[in-house]
Amino acid sequence: MIVGVDYDHCKEIGKIMRKIIDNISIDKFEDQRYYPPLDASREEVTRYFLVMVALDHRLSRPGKPYEGFVDDEFYHGADLLYRLGRKYFDEKPELFDPNYLQTLRIDEFVEMFTVKSEEGRTARPPDPEIRVGLLRDLAKKLVKLYEGSAYSLITQSHGYLRRGIGEGFIDRLKIFTAYQDPVEKKPFLLAKFLERRGILPVYDPYNKEVPVDNHLVRIAIRLGIIKVDTILLEKIAAGIEVSPEEDIVLRYNTRIAYKLVSQHGGIDPFIMDDFLWMFGRRCCTRETPVCMQGCRESCSMINGCSGEKCVFHGICSARRDPLLMVNEHKFLDTWWY
**pLDDT by residue, tens only, the chain of 337 residues:** 899 999 999 999 999 999 888 878 899 999 999 999 999 999 999 999 999 999 999 999 988 999 999 999 999 999 999 999 999 999 999 999 999 999 999 999 999 999 987 777 899 999 999 999 999 999 999 999 999 999 999 999 999 999 999 999 999 999 999 999 999 999 999 999 999 999 999 999 999 999 999 999 999 999 999 999 999 999 999 999 999 999 999 999 999 999 999 999 999 999 999 999 999 998 999 888 988 878 888 777 787 787 778 999 999 999 999 999 999 999 999 999 9
pTM of the model: 0.95
Residue 330 CB neighbours (<10 A): 15
CATH of domain 3-26+209-324: 1.10.1670
Ordered alpha helix ranges (H), 156-284: 169-173, 185-196, 214-223, 230-237, 244-265, 269-282
Query: Could you tell me if 293 and 231 are in contact, meaning their C-beta atoms sit under 8 angstroms apart?
Result: no
23: helix, coil or strand?
coil
Give the strand pairing for 309-310 and 73-76: unpaired
Contact predicate 221/192, CB 8 Å: no
pLDDT at position 116, please?
83
Residue 69 pairs with which residues in a beta bridge?
A: 74
Q: What distance in Å separates the CA atoms of residue 25 and residue 162, rounded to the nearest whole number?
A: 28
Where in the chain are the domains?
3-26+209-324, 42-196
